[in-house]
Amino acid sequence: MLFSSKYLVFPFVLIALIIGGFASSNTGDDIWYINLNKSSLNPPGYIFGIVWPILYILMSISAYLTFNDTFRLFIAQLFFNTAWSWLFFYFHMPIVSLLDIFLLIFLNLYILRKMLNVNYVAAYLYIPYLIWLSFAFYLNLYIVINN
């Protein structure tokens, strides 16, 4: 066989990385964010540049492994994920972005539940994303409360 379906995971990864790059680019000025009161647990900026590509790769592999069962939900969660960056950084709407990430967490819990019924590997690869979203929710909530 000249072409194997196992290589189809690469377009998933590439598309997710492109969407992630789009979401994090051109999201407004840094002065607003720099001046916010942030949690002492807020990681330095370069950590986000390391963590997000890893999470997008893991998410993409999970989506690929459960394509028929979760693809539409995966696209919906990418929309909410991208919207969060714009709501928070460009529009400076931390309360609305907090609502967005709250919905994003519940959508991803539903996706995880579906993945558990289809492919345990996909589900386990998805867990770090949910952990990071929960941490991001905490950071966003801290900003809402303290600013």
Specify if 3 maps to a domain.
no
Supply the pLDDT for residue 60. Answer: 87
- Indicate the DSSP class of residue 5: G
Specify if 31 maps to a domain.
no
Specify if 34 maps to a domain.
no
Q: How many domains does the chain have?
A: 1
pTM: 0.85
Specify if 50 maps to a domain.
yes
* Residue 117: other Cβ atoms inside 10 A: 10
Supply the pLDDT for residue 2. Answer: 43
Specify if 33 maps to a domain.
no
50/128 Cα distance (integer angstroms): 13
**Residue 2, CA distances (Å) to 6, 8, 9, 12, 119 in order:** 12, 13, 16, 20, 27
Specify if 2 maps to a domain.
no
* Residue 35: other Cβ atoms inside 10 A: 9
The domain in which residue 122 lies consists of: 8-25+41-146
- Indicate the DSSP class of residue 26: S
Per-residue model confidence as pLDDT tens for the chain (147 residues) = 344 455 555 666 666 666 655 555 555 568 999 999 999 999 998 998 899 889 988 998 898 899 889 989 998 999 999 999 999 999 999 999 999 999 999 999 999 999 999 999 999 999 999 999 999 999 999 999 999
CB 86 within 8 Å of CB 109: no
Q: What is the CA radius of gyration of the chain?
A: 16
101/144 Cα distance (integer angstroms): 13
66/123 Cα distance (integer angstroms): 9
Specify if 114 maps to a domain.
yes
Specify if 35 maps to a domain.
no
